[in-house]
Amino acid sequence: MAMKRQLPKLSELRELMQFKKPELDPVKRQLDKALTVYDLRDIAKRRTPKGPFDYTDGAAEFEISLARARQAFEDIEFRPDILRPATEIDTSVEILGGSSALPFGLAPTGFARMMQTEGEIAGAGAAGAAGIPFSLSTLGTVSIEEVKSVNPSGRNWFQLYVMADREKSYSLVERAAAAGFDTLYFTVDTPIAGNRMRDTRNGFSIPPQLTAKTIIDAIPRASWWFNFLTTPQLEFASLTNTGGTVSDLIGQTFDPTISAEDLKIIREMWPGNIVVKGIQTLADAQRMVDAGVDGIVLSNHGGRQLDRAPIPFHLLPDVVREVGGHTTIMVDTGVMNGADVVAAQALGADFVLVGRAWLYGLMAGGRAGVDKMIEIMGSEIRRTMGLLGASSVAELSPDHVTQFARLAPRNTAHATKH
């Protein structure tokens, strides 16, 4: 039987014709279309000169560590609990004596104003508004006190690099304590600089130099250069050294002789939580627990130091099994989706740190871009938990996740060196 046809009714057409008011702000228009952190990365790449973008996006040597870290999160299988409705999702966690509205915080990242002029101010403000911790790096481009003023009632954490001039390091510890920062990362994975070849190829320096190459690169990114040239000079808030490459800076400032004695001294100075960042083996995790630290971060520095380093997400189950009841365990590197955060929590992580993702948001749209990144990841976390049948983070367990082994060692025991 042929379908009966009729002329369209005007009333029905009115219901179908829903026109949105056009968004005139090009940055907001792009952010509104972003559905994933990778979308924010694409916007960031279009808006940011190659040197700063590649500094954020890249890693050491052949970037094997970074690729493996991201692959590790993809090489999982979620196992949902059926007929367990999770109509109200609670994403909050207790971490290091305080609360966080989401099970992740913003990791410490250097040179944030290099990526976009709002820099750490945007990160701290967005973290405070979302109710999650913000971490400031020794290599930050705003001061400890400025972060406190932007995020006065939120949780601020400080990442310490031990410098050759120990008094400078001690001064930073004292300032962070005076400003009410509640947690300090003692960073152990940067005795010397990793070989970040993208930076070398780009001639990346701090601050960026105007050369024929950078000027050509700047033509489609005029807004970035306008902001860079019309805002306060880019400099380190905690260091006096500027100029040259990142490797130059690390070589001039950091001390490769950092030792357990330095940790002991800082521990005695610091009144709050002390967390050792850069743990890459089970043995070192155990050593730090024996040393009495409040927490550890399983991290290979985002793949930016030793290429082919251990994968933090792979290390997580072993560390949780051996020391999980004795210290706070955090993990970073390769986190690009809220589902990654859920997987880490399910396998026993107490908290997750997100680095590149918030910088992609920053480069994509300043403070609004960081807000968008947190919104995206929060939505992904809630959706993943709901589909797993978990109403709270505490309900996540290893039963929800299977890790597939793309890489497996040839021998279970380490060879003995002769």
Q: How many other CB atoms are found less than 10 A from the CB of residue 34? A: 22
Distance CA 167, CA 171 (A): 6
Residue given tokens 């310490």 in the structure block: 160
- Can you say how many angstroms the Cα of residue 230 is from the centroid of all Cα atoms in its chain? 28
For residue 27, count CB atoms less than 10 angstroms from its CB and return exposed for 0-12, middle for 13-18, buried for 19 or more.
middle
The amino acid at residue 22 is P
- Can you say how many angstroms the Cα of residue 335 is from the centroid of all Cα atoms in its chain? 7
Cβ(363)–Cβ(130) under 8 Å? no
What are the structure tokens assigned to 50, written together? 């190659």
Radius of gyration of the chain from Cα atoms?
Answer: 23
In 125-155, which positions are buried (b, 16+ CB within 10 angstroms) versus exposed (e)? bbbbebebbbbbbbbbbbbbebbbebbeebb
- Can you say how many angstroms the Cα of residue 100 is from the centroid of all Cα atoms in its chain? 15
Residues with a known catalytic role:
301
Do strands 76-78 and 273-279 pair parallel, antiparallel, or not at all (unpaired)?
unpaired
Cβ(105)–Cβ(127) under 8 Å? yes
CA atoms within 13 A on the CB side of 283: 1
The DSSP result for 166-229, as a single string, is: HHHHHHHHHHHHHTT--EEEEE-S-SS----HHHHHHT--SSPP--HHHHHHHGGGHHHHHHHH
Helices 282-290, 312-323: crossing angle, 10 deg rounding: 40
CA atoms within 13 A on the CB side of 224: 28
